[in-house]
Chains A and B, each alone.
Chain A
Amino acid sequence: KQEVTQIPAALSVPEGENLVLNCSFTDSAIYNLQWFRQDPGKGLTSLLLIQSSQREQTSGRLNASLDKSSGRSTLYIAASQPGDSATYLCAHPGGGANNLFFGTGTRLTVIP
């Protein structure tokens, strides 16, 4: 059974701090792993997609890493800002590649 776990479920940090969000998955044969951002009452915005052959991807203040052997991915956010407050979701394709398996997310609050 595919499982994707995100711990902690919620995180509060003061503005300016660097932080790491964690994602664990049970399928070591994933094709890729994707990080999304979801604002309250809104849709999902794709942040980064890491292919299985890659170790990390960077976009601005965001850096995502992938370690398939240990079943872990991290999303590093540098110099956090209040505008970063949102729920962050990780997901990977299922075995049939027809759908994404999502974690339950980490709700981040950056305090001004």
Chain B
Amino acid sequence: NAGVMQNPRHLVRRRGQEARLRCSPMKGHSHVYWYRQLPEEGLKFMVYLQKENIIDESGMPKERFSAEFPKEGPSILRIQQVVRGDSAAYFCASSPRTSGPNTEAFFGQGTRLTVV
């Protein structure tokens, strides 16, 4: 049973380009969470999705950032017109279908985005 898979592991984009980060949850997990870790800072929640639904996007920047979790395929975090301040590690976590507050979340290895 593979863990949470994120790709790419490293991504370099020039300012103004688009970045697409992918996350495949663990088998049997239908809840996906995205977090961002800025240099020398802790992880901050961005968005929580279930299949085809955004449940909580309270941590998402208002512009340029979007997320989806389609019926088929991985969850995608999309950053349009990237700026240097978007350089960070982006982590995805997943939890089971019957998720609740006492459910353990499992994290992927992260995607390290560098904007040059």
Q: Is A112 an interface residue, CB under 8 A from the partner?
A: no
A-B contacts counted at CB < 8 A amount to 61
Main secondary structure of the interface of B (DSSP, over half): strand
Whether the Cβ atoms of B110 and A104 lie closer than 8 Å is no
Q: For B106, give the chain A residue with the smallest CB separation.
A: A46
Q: Which of A46, A89, A99 contacts B33 (CB 8 A)?
A: A99
Whether the Cβ atoms of A49 and B107 lie closer than 8 Å is no
Q: For B43, give the chain A residue with the smallest CB separation.
A: A102
Q: Is A51 an interface residue, CB under 8 A from the partner?
A: yes
Whether the Cβ atoms of A104 and B91 lie closer than 8 Å is no
Q: Which of B41, B59, B101 contacts A31 (CB 8 A)?
A: B101
Whether the Cβ atoms of B109 and A43 lie closer than 8 Å is yes
Q: For A41, give the chain B residue with the smallest CB separation.
A: B112
Whether the Cβ atoms of A104 and B109 lie closer than 8 Å is no
Q: 0/1 per residue, A68-112, Cβ < 8 Å to B?
A: 000000000000000000000101011011111111110000000
Q: Which residues of A contact B33 (CB under 8 A)?
A: 98-100
Q: Which residues of B contact A93 (CB under 8 A)?
A: 101
Q: 0/1 per residue, B1-28, Cβ < 8 Å to A?
A: 0000010000000000000000000000
Q: Which residues of A contact B110 (CB under 8 A)?
A: 42-43
Q: CA of A32 to CA of B108 in the docked complex: distance in angstroms?
A: 21
Q: 0/1 per residue, A38-63, Cβ < 8 Å to B?
A: 00011111100101000000000000
Question: Can you name 25 A-B residue pairings with CB atoms under 8 Å?
Answer: A4-B42, A31-B101, A32-B101, A36-B107, A41-B112, A43-B6, A43-B109, A43-B110, A44-B107, A45-B107, A46-B106, A46-B107, A51-B102, A94-B45, A97-B100, A97-B101, A98-B33, A98-B56, A99-B33, A100-B43, A100-B45, A102-B44, A103-B42, A104-B42, A105-B42
